Structure 1
Amino acid sequence: DRMLDMGFLPAIRRILSMLPAKRQTLLFSATMSSDIEKLARTTMKDPKLIEVGPRGQTAPQV
């Protein structure tokens, strides 16, 4: 998330474009902004979202 905030999206897209089409891609983020969700939808095949708690709440163990 912070990498996108800092303007790294073009570099991330360039790196992703160099990867083989057949691959396993995992994306982890403490926060899932709409930009991250859009990136996942456009660069991953059938992405799945797994949440450990309600959105907008900080986990008590963090």
Structure 2
Amino acid sequence: MNNPNIPELEAHCGSWIVIDRITGRPVGEFFERETVERINVDKYQVLTAQQHLASLNKEQQQ
């Protein structure tokens, strides 16, 4: 499987963060793509750890 809703990891990034779409809160950090491929992307957003941290920094700056 190669789900287009699952971003590829950046060269220096080793995990994905799964975010609840309703609450906007992270529910877990995952290190294996096989596990992340099983996430229900209708209920959860999947970001790389870098994307998640960048979004937190952006929120702090606003």
Q: Which has the higher Rg, Structure 1 or Structure 2?
A: 1
Q: TM-score range by the shorter chain?
A: under 0.3
So what's the TM-score if we normalise by structure 2?
0.27
So what's the TM-score if we normalise by structure 1?
0.27
Relative contact order (alpha carbons < 8 A, sep ≥ 6): 1 or 2 greater? 2
Higher strand share: 2
